[in-house]
Chain A
Amino acid sequence: MLGENGAGKTTLLRIIAGLSRPTRGSVRVLGADNPRDVSGRMGYMAHSTLLYDDLTARENLEYFGGLYQDRKILSSEEARDLVGLNNVDVRRRVSEYSQGMKQRLALARALLASPELLLLDEPFSNVDANSISAMALLLGRLRDEGTTVLVITHQLDALAGVADEWITLRSGSIVARSNSLSESASMRSDG
């Protein structure tokens, strides 16, 4: 999902997640009229990390994993493996992590309950190029395994070979929708 600042991307993502209510219209997510009813089947990664700075990576993942008791939960090690944080000292608190590591840990938290719908708001910000490639590969793999992944990003190249569809928002409305990045770019410049 693309769009300039203030286009409504984050608001739309929060509405889909059930964190905000639409002022008009309705949203249907995973067959439910109320997203809250299916929140356990969704993973959400926001601008903020949604993590406790004073806990370690393992403590954070075990705590949030424990809140999803009716679903099969990845272990802390499995989740860290997925995002390439397996070599991190588990005794370090999150406050001591670099911004890129925090972002990857935030993604691991969103993946804990093996969500059917993954909502990611700027997952690549402050992440180094190698980590971006690894994260994009992971998202591609999740898509292949049947997870629907909705990503807001300004780093279009990161998802060039991964995304199936590009949606451009402007002032809260979809102004372009395309299956390729280049087509999307031309439609946006036309619009």
Chain B
Amino acid sequence: MNLARTFVLHLRKDLRLEWRSKDAANSMLFFALLVVVVFAFAFDPLAEESRRIAGGIAWVALLFATIVALNQGWARELRNGVLDALRLAPASPNALFLGKVTANFLFVALVECLVTPVFIVFYNLNVLGSGWQLLLVAVLGTWALVVNGTFFGALSIRTRNRELMLPLILFPISLPALLGMVMATTDILTGERVPRDWIKLLTVYDIVFTVVSLLLFESILGAE
């Protein structure tokens, strides 16, 4: 009960701060749109070709855009030493972690919703596979990026080059998930096969990394 209440408290605070500053959403949206447009001009693909490469481009764009949001999320806690107040509070660190992951998830999901129509137009896409599977892959893939990113963002928060450090740690760790997202999305867009195995991989990846992050987050938060 306490965990749920504290989780809501953190989530509400993060959403409120983002609503007022729009730091993460603006930079993410701008970055994602930029990548989508630049790739569209660079390749000028036909519809069939688009379906094969769109999954990769979309997820790479989102991966880079997510990094921007994740860096903003923790940088906010460093300003005015707020992180010290959070470390001192006798509240569950996992509530803080889950609150931040959920807030980041919502920011990235919002950007996905805004970028998808642009993506469909620029790449002349029509989904041949199942729409709900695409939605499922989007949710699982976004969670994979965000849960890892939030965890490693906390890990690199006190390093001097944290903007560089986060992608350096996050990209190799995210490779299995990225592979699953890209392959599953391509399968759905082309309608060639049902990406059952890729969805299973993403589900297992999400569960494992969420549990491990929750187990380790208290040590990360308490570290000097």
Q: Which of A18, A36, A46, A64 contacts B81 (CB 8 A)?
A: A46
A53 to B110, CA, bound (A): 25
Interface secondary structure of A, over-half rule: loop
The prevalent SS among residues of B at the interface is: helix
Indicate with 1 or 0, residue by residue over A32-54, a CB within 8 angstroms of chain B CB atoms: 00001001101010111111111
Question: Contacting B88 at CB < 8 Å: which of A17, A48, A49, A63?
Answer: A17
The interface residues of chain B lying within 8 Å CB-to-CB of A93 are: 20
Digitize B1-18: 1 where CB-to-A-CB distance is under 8 Å, 0 elsewhere.
Answer: 010011001000100110
Q: How large is the interface on A (under 10, 10 to 19, 20 to 34, 35 or more residues)?
A: 20 to 34
Contact residues in A for B196 (Cβ distance below 8 Å): none
Answer whether A64 and B85 are a contact pair too, CB < 8 Å, given A19-B224, A55-B17. yes
Q: Which of chain B's residues 20-68 have a Cβ closer than 8 Å to chain A?
A: 20-21
Q: Chain B's nearest CB lies how many Å from the CB of A117?
A: 12
CB-defined contacts of B79 to chain A, threshold 8 Å: 52-53
Distance from A64 Cβ to chain B, minimum over Cβ atoms (Å): 6
Number of residue pairs A-B, CB distance < 8 angstroms? 74
Task: Fill in one digit per residue for A61-79: 1 if any B CB lies within 8 Å of its CB, else 0.
Answer: 0011011111100000000
Cα A52 to Cα B73 in complex, Å, equals 13
Q: How large is the interface on B (under 10, 10 to 19, 20 to 34, 35 or more residues)?
A: 20 to 34
CA A36 to CA B16, docked complex, whole Å? 29
Interface core residue of B21, B90, B224 (most chain A CB under 10 Å):
B90
* Closest chain B residue to A54, Cβ basis: B20
Whether A42 contacts B88 in the complex (CB less than 8 A), given A21-B224, A66-B6, comes out as yes
Choose from B2, B81, B222 the contact partner of A48 (Cβ within 8 Å).
Answer: B81
Q: Which of A19, A52, A63 contacts B84 (CB 8 A)?
A: A19
Q: Are B5 and A20 in contact (CB under 8 A)?
A: no
Cα distance, A59 to B20, chains bound together (Å): 13
A104 sits at the interface (CB 8 A):
no
B17: nearest chain-A partner, CB-CB: A54
- The reply to whether B224 and A67 form a contact with Cβ atoms under 8 Å apart is no
Q: Is A109 an interface residue (CB 8 A)?
A: yes
A45 to B49, CA, bound (A): 60
- B80 part of interface (Cβ distance < 8 Å): yes
From residue B206, how far is it (CB to closest CB) to chain A in Å? 28
B9 to chain A, nearest CB (A): 5
A59 to B21, CA, bound (A): 15
Task: Provide the residues of chain B in CB contact with A44, threshold 8 Å.
Answer: 84-85, 88
Q: Chain A: residues with CB nearer than 8 A to chain B?
A: 17-21, 36, 39-40, 42, 44, 46-55, 59, 63-64, 66-71, 93, 109
